[in-house]
Structure 1
């Protein structure tokens, strides 16, 4: 069946059952916690710590992120992201998942810090107490689903050590 006949059939069924089946662009907002209808990937039952569903994509076309965190001269930290197969969405983007697009959420020791739409972030020293910490960047689609490959979120973690009198950045993981 051609796509036009399929679309016409769906519209006819929708009209018979009293209107929209919930496929409009604003539908994700109207339904609250449900994710957007999108042909991108497969939404899994698995969720992150905040209850956001994973959106599984093929490894070949999956977005990627890497994070590097370096101390700056004032005991603060400068985080820099590198992304591949991924575009950061501007503010005001519709909450619909599109291939390789979205935002990055930054975490410190598993605690959400911020949502990024740029690749640079300045992490104030006051947020990083003395000791070793994990700074994680995780990719999200615009509908707030987590980009995932093989059931694991697309993310990268860097370890940093704050000592108060000088700090060091240790390593980067993907």
Structure 2
């Protein structure tokens, strides 16, 4: 009957290992707002305005971004990002930090507008009142940590000046 004792031992070890493997596999999806463990960089205590932690990486090979904003037809704007050492993640990727991968977030005067998964975006003029404004883009890992170098966010800002369209008064006659 030693085979039953051996079988029980194998089952017990299998259950223990299976339970341990299952414990860590989905935690990142269930715990909202927690940073995933990753061998990429070092998570800092510093956060952005929305509470996302900075993820410090070495300057050598670090992601870089530049933003260019040009007027489009009407009052709209074309936003173009140029990235280096970075690739945009497709929707639905596992929420963990992978070196040089993630999404960009576009801000207007410090207010978050949109998360980008490509380097081109059409910005509606309806969102931009008359005056000078700051369009900022920041690079984030897929676990929502902000890529950083030497304690500073990997970001770029462009200034734009919007002028309201001239309106011509229409007929106001009542007859």
CA contact (8 A) 1:54 1:146 kept: yes
Partner of 1:133: 133
Partner of 1:89: 89
CA contact (8 A) 1:23 1:37 kept: no
> For this pair of structures, how many residues does the alignment match?
151
Partner of 1:121: 121
CA distance, structure 2, for counterparts of residue 28 and residue 148 of structure 1: 21
Structure 1 56/23 Cα, relative in aligned 2: closer, same or farther at 3 Å? farther
CA contact (8 A) 1:41 1:55 kept: yes
Structure 1 21/153 Cα, relative in aligned 2: closer, same or farther at 3 Å? farther
Deviations 1:77-122 (A, max 9, x none): 0000000000000011110100000000000000000000011100
Which structure has greater strand proportion? Answer: 1
**Alignment RMSD:** 1.9
Q: Which has the larger radius of gyration?
A: 2
CA distance, structure 1, for counterparts of residue 64 and residue 116 of structure 2: 15
Structure 1: any 5+ residue segments left out of the alignment?
Answer: 1-11, 167-174
TM-score by length of 1: 0.82
> Tell me, what secondary structure is at the counterpart of 1:60?
coil
Structure 1 22/45 Cα, relative in aligned 2: closer, same or farther at 3 Å? farther
> After the TM superposition, which segments of 4 or more aligned residues of structure 1 sit over 3 Å from their partners?
18-23
> Tell me, what secondary structure is at the counterpart of 1:35?
coil
> Tell me, what secondary structure is at the counterpart of 1:19?
helix
Structure 2: any 5+ residue segments left out of the alignment?
Answer: 1-12, 167-175
